[in-house]
Structures are given as C-alpha cells and as structure tokens.
C-alpha cells in the first residue's frame, strides 16, 4: 500500500470545515490561529504544496512598504506581528535575524522579535537591545529599578543594524552586525508562545524592517526556513493578504478570550457560499451566538 506523507497547509486554524468545489479547488473555513482572531477561509489546490506561510496580526496599526523598507508607524495601542512556524521543541536549533531601526522615547521597547517555545525575546529600544534568557529575571531582585547589565547591549537603534538571535545545543546568543554581544543558556520550554517580529501594543514608537530570516532545525519534524526582504515588494504576510478571506473578525477585548468557529457551509445555486458559525463577538462572557455569512468566490480575488 502506498502511504501519503503529511505536509503542512499554508494556514493555521482549528475547527476546520473543508469541501471541494466543482472546479476542483478546496474551500476551508476555520477559526484562525495565526494572525487576527476570527473565522477565516482559504481557497486553493491541496496539491500545490504552498507549505506553511507566515501570518500577520494587525490591530489598529498602520503599515507601509516603500523604498525597500517595511515601516510600522506609531499608533497608540497598536499591534503588528508577523508570525512564523514555531520550533518543534526547545531542543531545536534556531536562527532569527532582522535588520531594523526604531524611533521613539527612551526607556521602553519600540519593537521586538521572539522565538516562542524557546522563550527568547529580543526587545529593541532606542538606545539598546536586551534579551532575557531567564524569563522574568530582567532585573536584579535587590535592585528592581535597574535592568541586569548582562542582558542588555547599548546600541543606537535609530540607525539600521542587523540583529541575530541564535541557539545551538542549548547555548544562546545575540549578535549585532555579526558580533556576539549577549550570551545565555536554554533552561526550559515555553510551548504556547509564538514566533514573531514586529511592534507590540505597549510601544510608543515606530519601527522599520529591511529584512528578516528565520530557520528552525528540529529533531523529528522537517526543517523550516523563511527569508524575506522588503526589496521584494511583498509584505511578510503577503500570502495571507492574497489568498485568505476574513469572514468574521473577532478581536480580543479585555476580560474575554475571543471564541469562534465550528463553521459549516454549502454552495448555493448561482455559486455563492452560505456559512453558519458560532462567535462570542460583542457578547458578555460567557454568552455566544450563531450567525450566518454569505460570500462569493470572487471575494478571494478582491
């Protein structure tokens, strides 16, 4: 008997509902697990081998791709994150490199990139970068008002620099323009954190990215490599922009986790899609409701 090797799909979602359309393509509706929360849809050919594709989280943000640079503007409480495939375990050897600069007030992170599961985050400030390998021990308990000197590197980040976070058999380090400046050791796993680069909502500044490179070499799962440059004219989440449809957004609100999904759909005479789904959007916890949405295949091309 011939076996079929599993392969990653270009989206990350649960509670999926999939059916083939008359033209042979497959339409999948699902609760989005990478990018903005809500019910999304993907339309494509399962044999195309697109592989896993990066996703984007965009809340209240303003992003521009121009002059070979991705510019994330300063918007209050805005989130911009470009998420990548997590490593298999904290034993995976990873490389995450970005070329970036920032503008904004001193004293707080203006941008960041992170390898989730390994629990490693590089925070980019105006006058320094910092990476805490112990998680939660950024300050000395005897002096909670002072950041530990061994996790920071003074640097003018209003100018472009290439920052590289790397792990190799438990050893971890951060390099600036090819020179190692911060060192640490892996101590435990943080399985529910994403891999991303971008700007977090607490930032009071803006950031520019020229390129990003990420590689995870795993123990049993296939190696994952992704390379992006702003000079390509494509956003990091361009596949998501071009190929996925946000049917019903469900942004997070204070005190309530976004909950939606269990979508099912059918194709109506004439070709439109009628979908029925569950959501707690706009409801007070623990309430939720059912809703119906109608869309067309042409909506994927707009």
Q: What is the pLDDT of residue 255?
A: 84
- Sorting pLDDT into bands at 50, 70 and 90, what band is 200? very high
CA distance linking residue 55 with residue 80, whole number of Å? 11
Residue 104's CB is within 10 A of a number of other CB atoms, namely 21
Q: What is the pLDDT of residue 4?
A: 67
Indicate the helix (H) or strand (E) that contains 240. Answer: helix 238-243
pTM of the model: 0.93
Q: What is the pLDDT of residue 49?
A: 77
Greater pLDDT, 38 or 140: 38
Q: What is the pLDDT of residue 273?
A: 97
- Sorting pLDDT into bands at 50, 70 and 90, what band is 180? very high
CA distance linking residue 203 with residue 180, whole number of Å? 26
Q: What is the pLDDT of residue 100?
A: 98
Determine the average pLDDT of the residues in 244-266. 92
CA distance linking residue 196 with residue 96, whole number of Å? 9
Residue 202's CB is within 10 A of a number of other CB atoms, namely 10
Q: What is the pLDDT of residue 2?
A: 57
List pLDDT tens digits, range 64-92: 999 999 999 999 999 999 999 999 999 99
Determine the average pLDDT of the residues in 115-139. 85
Positive or negative, the CA dihedral 139, 140, 143, 146 is negative
Greater pLDDT, 283 or 2: 283
């Amino acid at each position: 008997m011939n076996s079929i090797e599993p392969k990653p799909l270009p989206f990350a979602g649960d509670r999926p509902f999939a059916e083939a359309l008359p033209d042979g393509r497959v339409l999948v509706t699902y609760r989005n697990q990478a990018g903005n929360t809500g019910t999304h849809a993907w339309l494509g050919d399962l044999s195309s081998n697109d592989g896993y594709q990066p996703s984007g989280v965009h809340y209240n943000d303003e992003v521009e791709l121009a002059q070979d640079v991705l510019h994330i503007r300063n918007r209050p409480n805005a989130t911009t994150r470009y998420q990548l495939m997590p490593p298999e375990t904290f034993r995976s050897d990873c490389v995450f490199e970005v070329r970036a600069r920032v503008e904004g007030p001193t004293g707080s992170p203006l941008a960041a990139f992170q390898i989730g599961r390994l629990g490693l985050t590089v925070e980019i400030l105006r006058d320094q970068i910092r990476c805490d390998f112990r998680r939660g021990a950024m300050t000395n308990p005897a002096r909670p008002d002072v950041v530990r000197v061994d996790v920071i590197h003074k640097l003018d980040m209003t100018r472009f620099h290439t920052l590289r976070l790397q792990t190799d058999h438990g050893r971890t380090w951060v390099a600036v323009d090819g020179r190692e400046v911060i060192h640490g050791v892996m101590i435990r796993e943080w399985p529910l954190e994403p891999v991303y680069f971008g700007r977090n909502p607490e930032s009071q500044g803006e950031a520019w990215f020229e390129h990003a490179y990420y590689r995870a070499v795993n123990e049993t799962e296939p190696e994952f490599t992704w390379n992006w440059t702003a000079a390509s004219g494509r956003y990091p989440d361009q596949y998501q922009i071009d190929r996925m449809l946000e049917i019903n957004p469900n942004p997070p609100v204070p005190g309530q986790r976004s909950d939606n999904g269990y979508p099912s759909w059918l194709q109506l005479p004439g070709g439109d899609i009628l979908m029925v789904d569950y959501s707690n959007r706009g409801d007070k916890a623990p309430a939720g409701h059912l809703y119906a949405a109608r869309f067309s295949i042409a909506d994927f091309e707009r």
